Amino acid sequence: MALEFGHRPFHHLFVPTVLPFADGGFDVDEDALRRFLRQLTSDRLCARGVGIIINSEAGELVYLSREEARRNVEIAVEECGGRVPVVAGVAALRPEAMIELALDAKRAGVDGLMLLPPMGAVDVSVGWNTVKYPEVWIDIARAVDEAAGMPLIMHPVTNMTPEFGPGFPVGGVLRMVSEIENVAAWKMTYSWQGMRVVAAALRQFDRHIALLGSGARYFHEAIASGIFDGALSAGLNYALEPHLEHIAAFQRGDLDGALAVWDGGLRQLQEFVFAEASRLHVRTKAGAWIAGHVDHPFMRPPMPKPTGEECEQIRSLMIGAGCTVIDEHRFGEGLAAIAQSRSHGLLAIGALSPRR
């Protein structure tokens, strides 16, 4: 099976990095972010085709100021630029603000942009008929492309449809890639059936569009079906090593070995984390904390806090999947902070002891 990451543009395993906060609050911990980025871009991981997405949903993009987003990009380029591709997420309420973020990232030296759909009023969020009116996103994407002129990864999470789940329908996909030549990769944020339909359409398109796995619970089937050119998944924040082991088995043609890794704990972990869209990034941040990448499991309000039960389940499943986890003492401190805090993790963050 030909799975060669890093040999074609955007054929990488992109980690949309979670954002570390300093002890006691929600200020970005730049030193911790640098450490996490260095860890993700070791020589060994660079050779395996890892890439970096800075300012993603998992990295709390929609709750960052422009200055914070720009600084995160600068740090990522400083730490990773030239060694692995660095792609910056772009999302905002207004197209003008999206263009500003895109130009900030371009000036910082990123290799590409990841564009999210419009957000805001019901007309462009839960009420948006993406089948009838795909131009609502296409027009904004075109404006960003005309301003920045960079390779684009599309992040097509939209409202639910029966055929495609939480992803931009295939008609809009084909219009987007036809009208915007800089679209280089498509994040596969779909139900399994929707993913197959969109993948088949893009495989028949007259230029290559990289298919990036999103829902980590579908990776085994996607690789086996030949619709996996790489990944862009929050699940890589806490389970990168088991996924690399799973992929390596596929690469050497060891299907039994790949299935052993998959059914030996990795599938069960990702099925739990990805089971509920309303908990996906909350559980991702909890997983990153349990893996030791961030000091606490809380995201910026209004994102809800994880529950103690969720964290206990994630830790157990991570151990079962062969992931590295923090020790019992640190884990217990975090559970106590969760129990003491309000719905968004406020009040108790300062009670956590420093990880260093």
In a domain, 251, yes or no: no
**Burial tier of 2 (Cβ tally within 10 Å: 0-12, 13-18, 19+):** exposed
**Is the domain of 76 the same as that of 204?**
yes
Last residue in a domain, options 198, 233, 268: 233
What is the per-residue pLDDT across 43-95, written as a single tens digit (0 to 9) for each?
A: 999 999 999 999 999 999 999 999 999 999 999 999 998 999 999 999 999 99
* Residue 354 in this model has a pLDDT that exceeds 90: no
Does 13 share its domain with 51? yes
Does 355 lie in the same domain as 263? yes
1 falls in which pLDDT band (50, 70, 90)? very low
pLDDT greater than 80 at residue 4:
no
- The tens digit of pLDDT for each residue in 99-142 reads 999 999 999 999 999 999 999 999 999 899 999 999 999 999 99
29 lies in the same domain as 107:
yes
What CA–CA distance (Å, rounded) separates 93 from 116?
A: 11
Report yes or no on 239 lying in a domain.
Answer: no
Domain around 155: 1-233
Overall number of domains in the chain: 2
Examine the domain organization and report whether 168 and 81 are in the same domain: yes
- Asked, for residue 247, whether it belongs to a domain, the answer is no
The CATH number of the domain where 176 resides is what?
Answer: 3.20.20.70
Residue 248 counted as domain residue: no
Amino acid of residue 143: A
Tell me the pLDDT tens digit for each residue of 248-281. Answer: 999 999 999 999 999 999 999 999 999 999 999 9
The answer to whether residue 344 sits within a structural domain is: yes
Is 250 contained in some domain? no
- Shared-domain flag, residues 266 and 356: yes
Q: Is residue 245 part of a domain?
A: no
pLDDT digits (tens, 9 = 90+) for 281-324: 999 999 999 999 999 999 999 999 999 999 999 999 999 999 99
* Residue 91 sits in the same domain as residue 147: yes
Indicate whether 171 pLDDT > 80: yes
Whether 244 is in a domain gets the answer no
Are residues 228 and 280 located together in one domain of the fold?
A: no
- Give me the helices (H) in the chain, please: 30-40, 43-47, 66-80, 95-108, 135-148, 170-179, 192-203, 219-224, 236-251, 255-261, 267-273, 280-290, 308-320, 328-340
